[in-house]
Structure 1
Amino acid sequence: MTSPTHPPRSPAGRRSGRPVRAVFAAVVAVASAVGLTACVTNTESANPEGWVSTLPAPDPALRELLPAGYRNGGTLTAGTNPTFPPNQFKAPDGRIIGFEVDLVNATAALLGLKVEFRQQDFNLILPSIDGGTVDIGASGFSDTEERQKSYDFVDFYTSGISWATTPGREVDPQNACGLTVAVQKGTYSDTDDVQVKADECAAAGKPALTKLVYESANAASTATALGRADAMSSDSAVTDYAIGRSKGKLVPAGDAFDTTPFGWAFGKGSDLVPAFAAALQKLIDSGEYRRILTPWGLTDGMIQTVTVNTAPPERSAETTPTLGDDDSSAGNTSGAGPTTDSEDQ
């Protein structure tokens, strides 16, 4: 079953919110992926300690909020790119797992629905919603004003941007000219953090900020642990996860900043949105939401009230508290090297 179709549109906008700046604004390095698995391991236990696989029973009242074709049950297709731990990533046995996966499954269960996660390139997920081949995008999407022009977002978590570096290295995210910084391609950190700072360095005539762009968050964190980058930039949950599993090879660099909500993407005007928002609110009110997030060490970014299409704050240098760093689970299996193709996602 699929949600209404809409005219195809190139996705814009944590994973990202602004148009990509010209390539000349930053030096985008190309390097080999050889050796990128040496320091940050790619396989650990499938889920964190304390994780329990339970799904809530369907709520008849919530099911009435669904479009008629879904009220007797069914399966939704969720587009996801499992290279973004701890949101979604692959366990050693190939299953797609993560805290966002857990939340989607629990929310759908309240509605009497099942979810089939379809692995896709990140930049194909939103067009797949347009084309009607997936019902929901569940892949660490930042709810941004640009994306809201074409999609509706049910916001489920709040995250900031955090940097990590190696022990003993002095790195200030707000004074990054002259540094080499690793990011995952198309993420908010790529286009709205590091690229913006690279442009500012160039405009001010300061030493260039070199950006290493990787296909996965795991590859970016590994490059940093190996010393190929001075620092990495990613969502706070992702950075804290990488630090926690690096065995001391990565440490925080400054505080989190640029708080933005994560949201599940639906086609603009999709009738699934009110039902998903109400079901997620019940998860929060019942305490199930906290139970799901606690084993992942992500309670600092929890929300109390579900919102749709939350307008993110303007970019600023103000900091927010760092998110939980009690993450421990399997690593991402991707080890792709950096690329010059920095698409908006």
Structure 2
Amino acid sequence: MKKLFGLLTVVALGLVLGACSNQQKENSTKSGADKKEVVVGLDDTFVPMGFKDDDGKIVGFDVDLAKAVFKLTNQKVKFQPIDWSMKETELKNGTIDMIWNGYSITPQRQKKVTFTDTYMKNTQVLVVPKSSGIEKASQMKGKVLGAQEGSSGYDTFTKQPEVLKDIVKDGDATLYASFNEAFIDLESKRIDGLLIDKVYAEYYLTKADKLADYTIIELPFDSEDFSVGVRKDDEKLAKQINAGFKKLQENGQFKEISEKWFGQDVTPK
């Protein structure tokens, strides 16, 4: 009897795992454009693109923009916080339908995902305490630098080593899961500078009323294109999102959302 019960348990477990596997396979092959509900993967600490407010609700520029795009096709949107360093893996596995959270186009990422049209420009900057007296990147020689793991900023840091990598302490950056954690260490002076998206730095320091306490230093890196990343074979969803961008720009909603979060229209010119 015990053997029979054990056998039935194994069979039942196999059926459950098989069903989950089939569901995951379906999610990874079905276009997001054909789903009633799409799942957006994001780092829920990346202000002002997508983050949790004081009530724990996920808000932000990208959140509002995604909702507006999919409202045009009567699709619901679920926002799924993910480990940013695993974003492409989550996308490939079908646990999310797209990466939409200040996601920059890079050659490495283009090998893994299909990108939509650019919807916003961004640059990487160096943030240091004003009390440090640092006013340019070259003054970071021997200093401790922080960066986010899996970020486009860290990718650029490694590809253009002459700017910071060749001069900072240990020839590398201290990596953080989120910029929130990095800012805590910057404020505590456990790191001397932080490589970060300009859009994040300006919003975070302004909201925290600490803009006057820090220096934001422009770096000789190329500007970045923010885009939405979908599965490599899901061009249908990419085209749908692009059509949504165009419609929102035409009817003025894109501008309204931009001015709400940035005080200006950030539509790429």
TM-score range, shorter chain: 0.7 to 0.9
What residue number does 2:238 align with?
A: 273
Deviates more, 1:292-301 or 1:136-145: 292-301
3-state SS in 2 of match to 1:233: strand
- Provide the rounded CA distance (Å) in 2 between the counterparts of 1:250 and 1:100: 28
* Cα shift at 1:135: 1.2
Aligned to 2:261: 296
Output the amino acid matched with 1:259.
S
Q: Aligned partners of 1:156, 1:225: CA distance in 2, in Å?
A: 32
Q: 1:333: which partner in 2?
A: none
Structure 2: distance between partners of 1:298 and 1:258: 24
Instruction: Note the C-alpha offset of 1:209.
Output: 5.0
- Greater percentage in helix: 2
Aligned residues of 1:225 and 1:250 also touching (Cα < 8 A): no
Where do 5+ consecutive residues of structure 2 fail to align?
1-25
Give per-residue Cα distances to partners, 1:256-281, cap 9 Å, x unaligned: 54211111110113111111101111
1:201 maps onto 2:167 in alignment: yes
5+ residue gaps, structure 1: 7-65, 305-345
| Offset, 1:213 | 1.9
Asked whether the 8 Å contact 1:194–1:211 carries over to 2, the reply is: no
Give yes or no for the alignment of 1:254 onto 2:220: no
Q: Secondary structure at the match of 2:250?
A: helix
Q: Distance in 2 between the 1:229 and 1:255 partners?
A: 19
What secondary structure does 1:189 align onto?
helix
User: Alpha-carbon deviations, 1:133-155, whole Å to 9, x = none?
Assistant: 22111232211122112211112
CA contact (8 A) 1:171 1:231 kept: no
Once residues 105 and 263 of structure 2 are traced to their aligned partners in structure 1, the CA distance between those partners, rounded to angstroms, is: 19
Three-state SS of the structure 2 residue aligned to 1:237 is helix
Instruction: State the 4+ residue runs in structure 1 displaced beyond 4 angstroms.
Output: 207-210
2:3 is matched with none
For the residues of structure 2 that align with 1:217 and 1:146, how far apart are their CA atoms? Answer: 22
Q: Does the C-alpha gap of structure 1 residues 132 and 240 become closer, same or farther in structure 2, counting only changes over 3 Å? A: same
1:182 counterpart = 2:128:
no
Q: For 2:130, what is the secondary structure of its paired residue?
A: coil
Q: Say which one has the larger Rg.
A: 2
Alignment of 1:147-166 (within 5 A): 147-154=109-116, 155-166=118-129
The two structures have a TM-score, normalised by structure 1, of: 0.62
Give the secondary structure class of the aligned counterpart of 2:39: strand
State, as a whole percentage, how many aligned pairs show the same letter. 23
Partner of residue 29, structure 2:
4
Deviations 1:105-160 (A, max 9, x none): 11111121110111221133322221222211123221112211221111221100
Cα deviation digits, residues 155-178 of structure 1 (max 9, x gap): 221100112221232231255322
Residue equivalent to 2:51: 89
Matched, 1:122 2:147: no
Structure scoring higher RCO (CA < 8 A, sep ≥ 6) equals 1
Matches within 5 A, 1:215-226: 215-226=177-188
2: CA distance, partners of 1:117 / 1:190: 25
What letter matches 2:126 in structure 1?
W
CA pair 276-136 structure 1, distance change in 2 beyond 3 A = same
Against the structure 1 CA distance between its residues 123 and 167, is the aligned structure 2 distance closer, same or farther, given a 3 Å change threshold? closer
- Change in Cα spacing, 1:150 to 1:184, as seen in structure 2 (3 Å) is closer
| Aligned-pair Cα RMSD in Å | 2.6
Give aligned pairs, total. 237
Cα displacement (A) at 1:226: 2.6
